[in-house]
Amino acid sequence: MSGRDYMGIPRDKIPWAPTIDQDTCTGCGECRSVCPNGVFELNESEVKMKVVHPENCVVLCDKCAKFCPTESIHFPDKMETKTLISKLMRERAGKRDAGV
């Protein structure tokens, strides 16, 4: 899924991906079951989930966190991310208007 855009913004410019608290994760796999994008994988040696494809996470989606029984999945602040997206969209529009 690399090389994708979100609303015309290169996905790698938007820091939206889950993190997992390894101290509380039980490796239950609920996040992997809920996410259709292959973001998660089981680290079998530690029996903990890990984020293996953060770029596959859909921007502003945090559905997996709601299914985590130990509340181990965390995301960046949604309002900060929306503000960043708005800024990047304005910059993109300005470059387009300037013919860049």
Domain ranges of the chain: 5-97
- Is the separation of the CB atoms in 19 and 51 below 8 Å? yes
pTM for the whole thing?
0.85
Q: How far apart are CA 97 and CA 32, in angstroms?
A: 42
Q: Per-residue confidence at 2, pLDDT binned at 50, 70, 90?
A: very low
Reported as a single tens digit per residue, the pLDDT across 80-89 is 999 999 999 9
CATH 3.30.70.20 fits 5-97, yes or no: yes
| DSSP state, residue 5 | E
Reduced to 3 states (helix: H, G, I; strand: E, B; else coil), residue 6 is strand
| Rounded Cα gap, residues 85 and 100, in angstroms | 19
